[in-house]
Amino acid sequence: MQVKENFIIKNLTTYKIGGVVDKIYFPETTSEFTDLLRRLDSYIVLGNCSNVLFSSKGYRGNVILTTELKLFEIKGTKVFVSAGVKGPLISQTAAEAGLSGFEFMIGFPGTIGGNICMNAGAHGQCISDKLVQCCLYDKKTNEVVYKSKDEMNFSYRNSILKEGRYVLLHAEFELQKSEKDNIKTLIDRNLEFRKNIQPSLKYPNAGSVFKNPENDSAGRLLDKAGVKSFDLPQAKVWDNHANFIINKGNATSEDILTLMVMMYNAVKKQYTIELVPEIIFIGDKTEKEEELWNILCPKKQK
C-alpha cells in the first residue's frame, strides 16, 4: 500500500484544486482498507475526487483514496464491485457481457463508492435501481456489516452513507440480460448527450454544482437567472450549461465558492428558491470559505 506525506492533492481532483494533505493512503485490498479504518483516529475517504471541491488550504489530517480497490467480478447477471472501481469501466464491461442497467454510468468519472453515496443517476437510471446489497464498515462498532438496498435509505442524491457512520467496501448488483446492440445504442446516446450538455474534464470541473429542486431543474433556474455571465479571473460558469463551474487554470477553492454563492443568490433573488449544493466541500476552510459555505449550507441542511 502506498502512503505519501505532505501530498498536494489538486492533481487528483477533477477540479484541479486542493492543497497539501498531511498523509494520504492508497489501500489495494479490502483488508488493507478496513485495517486503516480501524487504526486511524480520523480520516476522510475519497474516490476519484470528481464530485468534490477540495480546499486550497489543504487538510491537516489523513485521507484514504479508494481508487486502487479494483476488484470487479461478473457471475451470470450478478455484479460484484469494490468501492474504487470507476463507473465507465463498470458500464463498458457489463455491456460486453450483455448486461443492462449501468448504461447511465458511461460518462461518470466517479467511483462506485461515490456513486452509491450520492445515489448518482442520469437518463432515467440511478445506481440504486439495480443494487442488491452493500458491504459496509461501521465506524461506530468497528465491524463489517451488510445492508440491503432498502436499508441504504436511498433518495434523490442521498443515501445512508452521507450520514458519516458507514464506509462502503463493496457492493452487489443484479442486472438484466439484453441485446448488446441495444445496450451499445443506449450507451452511445448517453455519451453524445453528455458531450453536448456537460463540459469534458479538459475544462476542470466537478459536475453539477447544485441539486435539482423538486419538480424543477437547477440548470433551468440558473440559466433564467442569468448566471452564465458570471466570470471571475480564474473561474467561470460554463457557457453551455448554467449548472457547471469550470476552473480556467489557477482557481482556488475560494474562487469556486464565491461563484457558487453568486449563483445561489441570483436564483434566490429571482425565484425565492434556495438551491442545495451537489458538490461536497472538503478540507480545512479559511474564515472566508467558512462564511461562504455557511451561506450555501445553512446549519439546518448540514
> In this predicted model, what pLDDT tens digit does every residue of 277-294 receive, in sequence order?
999 999 999 999 999 999
Could you tell me what percent of the chain has a pLDDT over 70?
99
What is the band of 3 on the pLDDT scale with cuts at 50, 70, 90?
A: very high
157 noted as active-site residue:
yes
Among the listed residues 29, 19, 27, the one whose alpha carbon sits nearest the alpha carbon of residue 45: 27
Which of 208, 253, 254, 289 is an active site residue?
208
Residues near 234 by Cβ (< 8 Å), separated by ≥ 6?
A: 247, 248, 249, 250, 251, 252, 255
CA distance linking residue 155 with residue 202, whole number of Å: 31
Please check the confidence at residue 301 and state whether its pLDDT lies above 50. Answer: no
Please check the confidence at residue 302 and state whether its pLDDT lies above 60. Answer: no
CA distance linking residue 194 with residue 26, whole number of Å: 30
Question: 83 near 111, Cβ under 8 Å?
Answer: yes
Q: If 0-12 CB within 10 Å is exposed, 13-18 middle and 19+ buried, where does residue 23 land?
A: middle
CA distance linking residue 246 with residue 201, whole number of Å: 9
CA distance linking residue 144 with residue 34, whole number of Å: 8
CA distance linking residue 182 with residue 276, whole number of Å: 36
* DSSP-derived secondary structure letter, 230: -
Domains and CATH numbers, the chain: 72-196 (3.30.465.10), 218-301 (3.90.78.10)
Please check the confidence at residue 253 and state whether its pLDDT lies above 60. Answer: yes
Which one-letter amino acid corresponds to residue 98? G
Mean local confidence (pLDDT), 148-155: 97
Render pLDDT for 20-35 as a digit per residue (tens, 0 to 9): 999 999 999 999 999 9
The confidence score (pLDDT) of residue 284 equals: 97
Residues near 84 by Cβ (< 8 Å), separated by ≥ 6?
A: 47, 65, 66, 67, 68, 69, 70, 111, 112, 113
Mean pLDDT over all residues of the chain?
95
Question: 119 near 158, Cβ under 8 Å?
Answer: yes
Q: Pairing relation of β-strands 280-282 and 52-54?
A: parallel
pTM check: above 0.85: yes
278 noted as active-site residue:
yes
Which of 103, 172, 278, 289 is an active site residue?
278
CA distance linking residue 198 with residue 46, whole number of Å: 23
For cell 477540495, name the residue.
Answer: 54
Render pLDDT for 72-99 as a digit per residue (tens, 0 to 9): 999 999 999 999 999 999 999 999 999 9
Reduced 3-state DSSP string for 91-134: HHHHHHCCEECCHHHHHCCCEHHHHHHCCCEECCEEHHHHEEEE
208 noted as active-site residue:
yes
The confidence score (pLDDT) of residue 33 equals: 98
For the chain, the 3-state helix, strand and coil shares in percent, each to the nearest 5, are: 35, 25, 40
Among the listed residues 62, 73, 76, the one whose alpha carbon sits nearest the alpha carbon of residue 33: 62
CA distance linking residue 278 with residue 12, whole number of Å: 19
Question: 43 near 80, Cβ under 8 Å?
Answer: no
- And the C-alpha cell for 272? 425565492
Which of 157, 159, 172, 254 is an active site residue?
157
